[in-house]
Amino acid sequence: MKNENIKVNKNMIIDPDSEIIYASSIGVGGDEEEIRLILFNKRLISNEEGMEIINESDTQIIINKSTARKLKELLTQQLNE
C-alpha cells in the first residue's frame, strides 16, 4: 500500500516522502567584556491553527574580545577567498 499525502489543514498537505530539513541561525550580542553567539534551531510544530515554525535556543557560546577578533579575522579571510 502506497503512503498517501497527509492533510494538515485545507491549505497544507505533507507528502510522506518529504525530506526533513533542519534550519538554524546564529544571534550575536555582547557587552564591554564578552561576545555571545546564541545558536537557534527552527522546529516545525503543529497547533490548533495548523503548522508553525518556532525558534529554540539552548546553546550559547561566550568568548572574550581577543578570541572574537581572531574569529572575525578567520571569517574575513575565508569569505574573501
Express each pLDDT in 34-62 by its tens digit. Answer: 898 888 887 777 777 767 777 777 788 99
Report helix, strand or coil for 26.
Answer: strand
Closest CA to 24 of 54, 51, 48, 4: 54
Average pLDDT over residues 12-25: 68
pTM over 0.85: no
Indicate whether 16 pLDDT > 70. Answer: no
CB 43 within 8 A of CB 54: yes
Q: Provide, rounded to the nearest whole percent, the portion of the chain with pLDDT above 70.
A: 69
pLDDT of residue 10: 66
What average pLDDT does this structure show over 23-29? 80
